Amino acid sequence: MIPGQGRHSAVKIAGIILVLAVLAAGMAGCAELPSKNLEIRDWYDLDAMRENLSGNHHLMNDLDAATAGYEELASPTANGGKGWQPIGTYHLDTHGLVVFGGTFDGQGHEIRDLFINRPDERCVGVFGTLGSPYRSGKGIIENVGVVNATVTGGSNVGALLGQNGALNLGTVSNCYATGSVAGNSWVGGLVGLNGGAVSSCYHMGNVTGITHVGGLIGVNGDTVSDSYSAGSVIGNSDVGGLLGYNHYGTVGNCYSTGSVSGDEDVGGLVGLSDESTVSDSFWDTETSGQSISDGGTGKNTTEMQDIATFSGATWNITAVADPGARSAAYVWNIVDGVTYPFLSWESVA
């Protein structure tokens, strides 16, 4: 346990409870909307998803700065300089949520060049909120990359998703993000607040915030598995290479390698953890600049690139000759002695 964390736990637990209360208030009186299936081919189609929050949607191709609708919807000049408006939002005036409760399958495609500048807003990312205000809802985001993103928000900020958690908790799998993410609190490279399941995901890029700042997820209150983060993480308190704050969460088979810096409750893998489980997870003590973490096991770079570190921890991992010779029969691949572990589905140069 990192020294000094005890005096903060009660405050932070109260904060989690407050968020759950806000969620409950936002769900009240919701009626299920009709669902539609959309094929997403440009930014206009992506924007139209906010009118079909319980539908099943498929990304048919990459979206970038040259794709129709970018200037109007996702560029630095869009929406009066605020850029993209997240799908699923938090309304400050009513303390209510509009939640994406359908499915979004990226089918291996990427959302590129995303720009968001909403420093006073909550629940910021491509998707603001995920889960479902309906007991029959789903809330699934899978198989998509958010590449070269520039995302700035207030709280609950992530390149892909601001907040995962509503009446039915959402799932995020086989997703990744690159670029920069910044905010005040509950800031993560991929997801700001996770109250559902995140698996087989990663983030590469810079994350900055004030409190509850993590390379992959700012605050975790549920399950994170088979995921990793690389890139710098900078904050004041509760700062971690993978997670800033792990509260009643479960983490397994994860790692982080990025540099981590902050003032209080700072860890190579997890900044602060309470009533939580972290198993078979590691961080690089050399590249992170951190010798301590509130969960996980620190290893040097040589050990982090040695398959024995992970196979000994019961990871589903195999050694391959090079990144191009990936084996999809395993969750993880590694070029033994050369690379860190990488997910079998990801493209590694």
Mean pLDDT over 148-159 rounds to: 98
pLDDT in tens, 260-300: 999 999 999 999 999 999 999 999 999 999 999 999 999 99
- Domain ranges for the chain, please list them: 6-304, 305-349
Flag whether pLDDT at 341 surpasses 90.
yes
User: What does DSSP say about strands 96-98 and 89-91: parallel, antiparallel, or unpaired?
Assistant: antiparallel
CA distances from 12 to 7, 125, 167, 340 (A): 10, 23, 21, 33
* CA dihedral of residues 282, 287, 293, 296 (deg, nearest 10): 0
pLDDT in tens, 224-246: 999 999 999 999 999 999 999 99
Determine the topology of domain 6-304 in CATH: Pectate Lyase C-like (2.160.20)
Weakest-pLDDT range from 84-98, 150-164, 271-285, 297-311: 84-98
